[in-house]
Amino acid sequence: MTPVTILRYALSGLILTLCPAATYPALAEIISFKAELSGQNEVQPNDSKGAGTFTATYDTESKKLTWKGKYSDLSGPATMAHFHGPIEPNWGQPHPFGDIADVTVVITPFTSPFEGSATLTDAQAAELIAGKWYVNFHTDAYPAGEIRGQVLKGM
């Protein structure tokens, strides 16, 4: 064998060795989120004494969003709770948390403390990761929402 032939065999073997590695999927990522819930975060800020905390993680491989949180001092029992989106936050504006958006995922149970999970579509995941979702808890006294928080990356 000539040195050129040996080099060709060596390069072919190296390429065949590396090709399967290129076909492995990217490693899953777990992305963390948080939100601070208050009446001041509602589109029409209210004077509710209610407040809460919310945390979540999103697994990019399983597409599963898992959340938990708690709230206190609402005007009465929560009647429903949802994720809403997409909505672009208005950072630097008088009301930084944007406007009102459609329900994307229902939160059940919505009694405090609460926790749950849902599998997201790719479009929903992109909106969530971009910070375009918020969490809203509704009561009889505040049917449009008593406490709200923008869901943002980070813990």
**Of all helices (H) and strands (E), which one includes residue 138?**
strand 133-139
For residue 38, what is the domain's CATH number? 2.60.40
pTM passes above 0.75: yes
Domain count, the chain: 1
pLDDT tens digits along 55-65 = 999 999 999 99
Exposure letters 25-41 (e unless 16+ CB within 10 A, then b):
eeeeeebebbbebbbeb
Q: Is residue 8 part of a domain?
A: no
pLDDT tens digits along 75-125 = 999 999 999 999 877 655 555 566 889 999 999 999 999 999 999 999 999
What is the residue range of 75's domain? 30-153
Model confidence at 49: pLDDT above 50: yes
